[in-house]
Chain A
């Protein structure tokens, strides 16, 4: 039944026998939405959790949240994807990905809170969802098309017109609704069709769900795309309260284009947008030297991306812009990113192509070398090279025959993994994922990734503890607030303590730090990944544009949740559900084979000191500051001691890292405890 943010049902599709089923959302309402529901359905319906991601029984959930499709600010447009991934190493863990845009809202307008797919079609298919009507269509005509071509073709098929800018009837019946909207399509490109472990999902121009390799997973299921279009609406419990909250948040924390509170001292420096958050700041690595306008996900007031007059790299932001930074021509840089999107490749797996060039320079890789490749390595740094490289990865040709299995597995195959992750030539600290923020320093990021399943990619503390002092210091400004004040604000907003944000060489192992790491795991599992608050806007722990610098967390997340759902939910209530989801995921990883011994970083994290300055909040000799922190490593013994304490804190067995029966039962996860007991994997 549709009420309070939920539209009432989840679509289950069995691709093997081509049947569909409606799952009442209320059956899983206790999990909130998004990730929580995805994990719970996975647990219920995948009996053997030890299967790999390519197995037909793997279940992939595309979930919205109660806030999706509403005007909840920066919390309406993101889709959470869960299932067994194929990217992580050595095991493809049960994992998550997430993409922005308008798919999550549109699926609700069609009357579904999410779509779950399982099984494998014998031939290529795509799902066509038009309100309540669901058809499994032949995709033989789409197979081989790139992601942009695929979506354009589906738009034409569904709307029945080549130019999708006119009113059209959804199914020709008088009362079924008319729309000017294009269907929201999430699809895979050639990389996904080939089962690449770095195959991504793509929606609209540049909304990618990269991590996990879900493009390759869908390819293995012969599922090319899921298209949704609807003419319904989302029930909001208190629309007036929602609008009032939206206005308040925009007014307090938004960027006022007419009279900005905070401005970059150097016009055109996109990097400073991390602090000002002006529209269009998301593609941090390229200044808008071309005609462009800000673009955002459904319902967002920040609009962090850009659409360009050239049509290149539209909607791209964040890491995509790193793919070809050596390009001398900006259009070439953006052309390379566009090609990557069209091929459906996860940039975060392949942007370390510079490592490969280093192998070429050493005479290890190249024509007739130990790693044979006939790509034009002598033209590295040109678009010609980038095009050849991208196509090789997508189609599995030349060196792409190895790289389609992901950079990590390729390097393992070449016998270089131990050498190059020990000397720091290849910086992949855990589970085969590329280094993001330095694991030796920003330990909430690295611990969260190590105890989880992927690079967490959650910037919550990072914007403040690292980026604010880095950006202001680099441009010769004083920090926007004292380190002491920042620690105090972060401690207050998270309900932990100022010492929980001490990144000093001693502080990173402290119990207080583990409190912050724990808050982070619970907050993100619920408020971000289940209720879909966007990583680039929430949590709002500190504000640089209000006089007292106090951010909107923990006030606004529960208030928005209540306005939409009508349910009272405190921040702590949400964190409790986050803890429950975190333990359910942990149980799945344990069933997949996770042990304490596996939770270690690669050697460079312990043995190779950091070199570049890394401003970071820390308390040293009793005084708070933003040091530059060079020469840092992690200590193996201290990490093992930290693990003892972290496992105890979470109610997991110290020897194994497995959840105990008492812990699971206290979280009302007795059924999960039973499954672990049957596998003889309960912690003690």
Chain B
């Protein structure tokens, strides 16, 4: 990603990260499709943002769709539904907006997934940073 395309997400608070990572109800789930030669298009329900990340980017999650290391099927979500889900169910409106604005329409799903991967990488790294900071504070408090 070139510098001018970098999305500058505002730093989330601890409370926001905890809320966005929460388990969702059945009604709030996101449905994707696993496209495999073994079973055609199979519905997959996701009940949290981490589940969606796992679904989209694989077990190692640091690899975009179809790159080496990803499971051999195509895991597909409707990008429009993903935007709505991120905004209304998960609550991360910044990520939702970035996906809506940056993911190209009319491109191959592979091209879309590369952008999705970049956006999620940046945002989830922020989540991790916040959580690690919280854990460091907690550990320091325990040590006291």
Residues on A close to B: CB < 8 A? 266-271, 273-274, 283-287, 289, 318-319, 321-322, 325-330, 333, 351, 354, 357-358, 361-362, 381, 427, 434-438, 442, 459, 463, 467, 470, 473-476, 610-614
Q: Chain B interface: which size bin?
A: 35 or more
B38:A269 contact, CB within 8 angstroms = no
- B26 x A358 contact (CB < 8 A): yes
The answer to whether A437 touches B40 (Cβ under 8 A) is yes
> How far, in whole Å, are A407 and B128 apart by their CA atoms in the complex?
40
Pairwise interchain contact A476-B111, C-beta atoms closer than 8 A: yes
Binding site for A on B (CB under 8 A): 25-26, 29, 33-45, 47, 51, 54, 59, 66-74, 76, 78, 107-111
Query: Which residue in B26, B37, B67, B110 is a CB contact (below 8 Å) of A467?
Result: B37
Given the interface contacts A285-B73, A322-B39, A326-B54, does A474 sit within 8 Å of B109 by beta carbon? yes
Given that A271-B66, A475-B108 are known contacts, is A328 also in contact with B54, CB under 8 Å in the complex?
Answer: yes
Query: CB < 8 Å: which of A267, A329, A362, A613 contacts B26?
Result: A362
Among B41, B67, B69, the residue within 8 A (CB) of A438 is B41
Let me know if B72 and A474 touch, CB within 8 A. Answer: no
Residues of A near B39 (CB, < 8 A) are 319, 322, 351, 434-436
Residues of B within 8 A of A459 (CB): 37
Contacts of A436 in B (CB 8 A): 39-40
Point out the residue from A273, A354, A470 that lies within 8 Å of B44, measured CB to CB.
A354
Q: Are B59 and A269 in contact (CB under 8 A)?
A: no
Contacts of B25 in A (CB 8 A): 361
Q: In the assembly, what is the distance between CA of A623 and CA of B25, in Å?
A: 45
- Do A322 and B26 touch (CB < 8 A)? no
Given A266-B66, A361-B25, A614-B41, A474-B73 contact (CB < 8 Å): no
Q: CA of A610 to CA of B54 in the docked complex: distance in angstroms? A: 24
Cross-chain contact B68 with A474 (CB below 8 angstroms): no
Residue contact A287 to B37, C-beta cutoff 8 Å: no
Residues in chain A near residue B36, CB distance under 8 A: 271, 284-285, 322
Enumerate 22 A-B pairs (CB-CB under 8 Å) in ascending A order: A269-B70, A274-B37, A283-B72, A284-B37, A284-B38, A286-B72, A326-B51, A328-B54, A329-B59, A354-B44, A358-B45, A361-B25, A362-B26, A442-B40, A470-B74, A473-B109, A474-B66, A474-B110, A475-B110, A476-B107, A611-B33, A612-B35
Closest to B25 in A: A361
Supposing A266-B66, A269-B70 touch, asked if A474 and B108 sit within 8 A by C-beta, the answer is yes
Inter-subunit contact A325/B38 (CB<8 Å): no
B67/A285 in contact, CB under 8 A:
no
Cβ contacts under 8 Å, A330 to chain B:
59
Contact B73 A328 (CB under 8 A): no
Judge whether B37 and A613 touch: CB under 8 Å. Answer: no
Give complex CA distance A76, B109 in Å. Answer: 39
- On whether the beta carbons of B73 and A271 are closer than 8 Å, the reply is yes
Whether A287 contacts B72 by the Cβ 8 Å rule is yes
**Set B29, B66, B76: member contacting A361, Cβ < 8 A:** B29
* Contacts beyond the supplied A322-B34, A354-B45, A438-B41: 8 A-B pairs with Cβ under 8 Å: A267-B68, A271-B36, A284-B37, A435-B39, A435-B40, A474-B108, A612-B33, A612-B35
- Chain A's closest residue to B41 (CB) is A612
Chain A residue, CB-CB nearest to B24: A361
Bound together, the chains give a CA A459 to CA B74 distance in angstroms of 18
Q: B78 contacts which chain A residues (CB < 8 A)?
A: 611-612
User: What's the least CB distance linking B87 to chain A, in Å?
Assistant: 20
Output the least CB separation between B33 and chain A (Å): 4
* Chain B residues closer than 8 Å to A284, beta-carbon distance: 36-38, 72-73
| Chain B residue at minimal CB-CB distance from A358 | B45
